[in-house]
């Protein structure tokens, strides 16, 4: 590849995180003549995120910002007539907080003076909750529709345009009569825990259930449509407005096997709920066909296998008959499994083109593309529409083609337009143009890697800022290992990696066995063998990179988060080639992880087919803490104190053991943050984490 021209641009800095705009969630009107999307930025002064809704024609013309302010507006959803957009916002409320009655109706007096909004976990905290609003596109102020005390999510218009469905968390005393997994006690404010899944990362203690609600536009009357000691999500109206398809875990095993998710049908007139699929399945994203005869969705039949099995495209008739797997013979997973730290989520992977054809996102070999899939006729009739080294994270169907959210290693996500066959791609949003004119980003060099047993492994290398093949030099290298493990590095920008390249490091990243995007066997073959089947792949990538002739073999670093933190720990306990290491939100002990992680009792069973009381030797063998005496590499441990996915006790065990052994070890505890700090945490703490990460390598490499 030619040397990147960085002569007129400066290197990236940590503070450039505040310069990058996250473009996401494209939505089209029913007739496809207009689009809406979300632009999100990090605000340094308020130490928070801001997002606004934009609208334009499908070719990007007449673009204008529809909402503004120092809050977060998201999830734009066009009304059926295309004149109004419903959206979510945490802007200050103008309605009193609603309380539901026994019949599930809310009691908000919409003409009364507004009460202070309530926070779900901290009484008296006036921080506004996310509520449902509408705004006309021809002008005027936004109109608040809900003021649920714990906020709302997942808005969906009724086809007649007279109501919206949404989801909201309800207290257990709001007419259900069920015990939540956790409830508060008496004067000591103790918590009484009932269920094995009593806490969730990013949420905390599970003290409420999520149900589906409906609000009428005319009078803003809201009523709950589902109830019980269950969690329901993803409401999707039928085309005739008579029913709602949704995702739920209503199986008899739900209090223990919380990963189960089935597709259900709610009949609006009588409130009856019918399971359309087996209830111990792993399904998501219901989408009605245009005729309303059937529903498409993603997943597989065995919830115990979680995200390790391929997510297939299924349909079921609206009466529950004819459950069909349309991609079972295609060894690929439907959905976007890519990763980035400068990315905001879009709304799903599926869209009906007509009654027999769907468009879907497919992740393969580091890229996410749009495919067209014929559902009737011979299986395997799938056609790739988009091509190239990029990640498409969301799309909408417009009158004359597609609107894509597309990004690459050296290009933040932006809106693009193309024909319905994927041709004629043009960029139609320009939120990051000024940033790109000023800052140099390193392009990726793809490497052909062969592991020790002959397995091909896909890897990429970011050259350092100012790199030139014409000026031979030896550069330090940092190996990045992704989390999951069933996720995928590839053609998407990482601010963190680009920052390392800007500081003079070559940055290596790859998809070892266990990653998504290379077939189900490649994804599942690490189960029961973490560290043994994946470590050779990343070491082979390091050896390929160092064989290029411009990497200094004596200045190698290694880092990773979550599963990547686990593999960082494992590798430095089995290989001494790295001069410095940073492990982030790591796993170190599967024996204790089983009982302390919010997914421990299911994840351990999935990945190791074992439980501590029967399989202690196996779990401890694959735990890095068992190999700590062999760890000689200087190690920094970065962990978030509110991480319930990989609890901080995992970091504490590593630090205590290495300190006891008098090794070079550091420990940074970041307060107030969950497992997702590096992608969606408080901006100032994201910066602090980056400074600790880079500073450790600068001092030791």
Instruction: Determine the Cα–Cα distance for residues 75 and 64; give it in Å rounded to an integer.
Output: 17
Instruction: Determine the Cα–Cα distance for residues 627 and 438; give it in Å rounded to an integer.
Output: 46
Instruction: Determine the Cα–Cα distance for residues 231 and 249; give it in Å rounded to an integer.
Output: 6
- Check if 383 is active-site: no
Q: Is the separation of the CB atoms in 197 and 257 below 8 Å?
A: no
Burial 600-610 (b: 16+ CB within 10 A, else e): bbbbbbbbbeb
In order of 569, 571, 591, the CA distances from 628 in angstroms are 8, 11, 15
* Cβ atoms within 10 Å, residue 556: 23
> Phi and psi (nearest 5°) for 262?
-120, 170
3-class DSSP string for 346-409? CCCCEEEEECCEEEEEEEECCEEEEEEEECCCCCCCEEECCCCCCEEEEEEEECCEEEEEEEEC
Structure tokens at 278: 């087996």
- Phi/psi zone of residue 493: left (φ > 0), alpha (ψ -120 to 50 degrees), beta? beta
Q: Is 30 helix (H, G, I), strand (E, B) or coil?
A: coil
- Check if 326 is active-site: no
Within 8 A by CB and 6+ apart from 678, the residues are 341, 496, 561, 584, 686, 689
Within 8 A by CB and 6+ apart from 671, the residues are 641, 642
The full DSSP string for 458-502 is EEEEEPPTT--TTS---EEEEEEE-SSSS-B--SS--HHHHHHHH
Q: Is 15 helix (H, G, I), strand (E, B) or coil?
A: helix
Instruction: Determine the Cα–Cα distance for residues 328 and 299; give it in Å rounded to an integer.
Output: 10
Instruction: Determine the Cα–Cα distance for residues 154 and 165; give it in Å rounded to an integer.
Output: 8
Residue recorded with tokens 């495209």: 313
Instruction: Determine the Cα–Cα distance for residues 175 and 662; give it in Å rounded to an integer.
Output: 57
Single out the catalytic residue among 363, 562, 592, 674: 562
Single out the catalytic residue among 71, 416, 482, 675: 675
Q: What amino acid positions are annotated as catalytic residues?
A: 562, 675
């Amino acid at each position: 590849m030619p040397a990147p021209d960085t002569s007129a641009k400066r290197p990236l800095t940590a503070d450039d995180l505040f310069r990058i705009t996250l473009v996401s969630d494209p939505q089209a009107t029913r007739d496809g003549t207009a689009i809406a999307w979300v632009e999100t930025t990090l605000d340094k002064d308020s130490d928070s995120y801001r997002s606004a809704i934009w609208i334009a024609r499908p070719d990007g013309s007449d673009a204008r910002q529809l909402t503004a302010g120092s809050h977060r507006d998201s999830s734009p959803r066009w009304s059926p007539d295309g004149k109004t957009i419903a959206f979510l916002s945490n802007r200050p409320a103008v309605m009193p907080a609603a309380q539901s009655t026994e019949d599930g109706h809310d009691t908000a007096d919409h003409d009364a003076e507004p009460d202070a909004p309530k926070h779900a976990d901290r009484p008296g905290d006036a921080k506004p909750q996310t509520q449902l609003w509408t705004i006309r596109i021809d002008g005027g102020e936004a109109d608040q529709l809900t003021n649920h005390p714990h906020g709302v999510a997942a808005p969906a218009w009724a086809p007649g345009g007279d109501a919206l469905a949404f989801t909201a968390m309800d207290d257990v005393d709001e007419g259900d009569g069920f015990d939540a997994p956790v409830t508060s006690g008496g004067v000591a404010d103790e918590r009484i825990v009932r269920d094995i899944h009593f806490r969730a990362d990013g949420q905390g203690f599970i003290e409420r259930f999520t149900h589906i609600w409906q609000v009428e536009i005319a009078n803003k009357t809201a009523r709950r449509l589902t109830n019980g000691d269950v969690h329901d999500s993803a409401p999707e109206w039928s085309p005739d407005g008579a029913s709602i398809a949704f995702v739920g875990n209503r199986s008899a095993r739900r209090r223990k096997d919380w990963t189960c998710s089935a597709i259900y049908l709610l009949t609006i007139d009588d409130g009856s709920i019918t399971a359309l699929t087996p209830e111990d399945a792993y399904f998501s994203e219901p989408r009605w066909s245009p005729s309303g005869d059937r529903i498409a969705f993603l997943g597989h039949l065995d919830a115990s296998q979680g995200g390790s099995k391929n997510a297939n495209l299924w349909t079921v008739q609206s009466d529950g008959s004819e459950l069909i797997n349309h991609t079972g013979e295609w060894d690929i997973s439907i959905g976007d499994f890519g990763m980035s730290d400068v990315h905001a989520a879009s709304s799903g992977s599926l869209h009906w083109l007509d009654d027999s054809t769907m468009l879907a996102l497919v992740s393969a070999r580091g890229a996410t593309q749009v495919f067209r899939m014929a559902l009737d006729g011979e299986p395997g009739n799938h056609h790739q529409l988009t091509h190239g080294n990029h990640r498409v994270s969301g799309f909408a169907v417009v009158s004359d083609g597609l609107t894509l959210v597309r990004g690459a290693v050296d290009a933040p996500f932006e809106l693009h337009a193309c024909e319905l066959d994927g041709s004629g791609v043009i960029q139609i949003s320009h939120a990051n143009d000024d940033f790109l004119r000023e800052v140099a980003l390193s392009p990726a060099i793809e490497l052909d890697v062969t592991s020790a047993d002959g397995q091909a492994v896909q890897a990429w290398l970011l050259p350092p800022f100012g790199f030139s093949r014409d000026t031979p030099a030896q550069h330090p290298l940092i190996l990045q290992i992704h989390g999951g493990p069933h996720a995928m590095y590839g053609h998407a920008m990482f601010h963190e990696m680009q920052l390392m390249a800007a500081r003079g490091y070559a940055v290596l990243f790859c998809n070892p066995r266990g990653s998504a995007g290379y077939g189900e066997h490649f994804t599942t073959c690490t189960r029961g063998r973490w560290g043994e089947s994946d470590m050779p792949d990343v070491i082979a990538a390091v050896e390929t990179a160092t064989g290029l002739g411009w990497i200094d073999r004596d200045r190698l670093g290694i880092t990773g988060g979550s599963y990547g933190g686990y593999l960082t720990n494992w590798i430095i306990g089995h290989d001494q080639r790295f001069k410095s290491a940073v492990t982030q939100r790591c796993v170190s002990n599967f024996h204790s992880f089983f009982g302390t992680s919010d997914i421990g009792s299911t994840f351990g069973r999935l990945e190791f087919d074992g439980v501590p009381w029967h399989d202690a030797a196996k779990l401890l063998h694959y735990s890095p803490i068992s190999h700590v005496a062999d760890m000689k590499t200087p190690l920094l441990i970065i962990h978030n104190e509110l991480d319930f996915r990989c609890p901080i006790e995992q970091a504490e065990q590593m630090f205590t053991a290495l300190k006891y052994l008098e090794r070079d070890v550091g420990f940074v505890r970041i307060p107030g943050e969950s497992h997702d700090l590096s992608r969606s945490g408080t901006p100032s703490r994201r910066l602090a984490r980056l400074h600790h990460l880079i500073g450790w390598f600068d001092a030791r490499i």
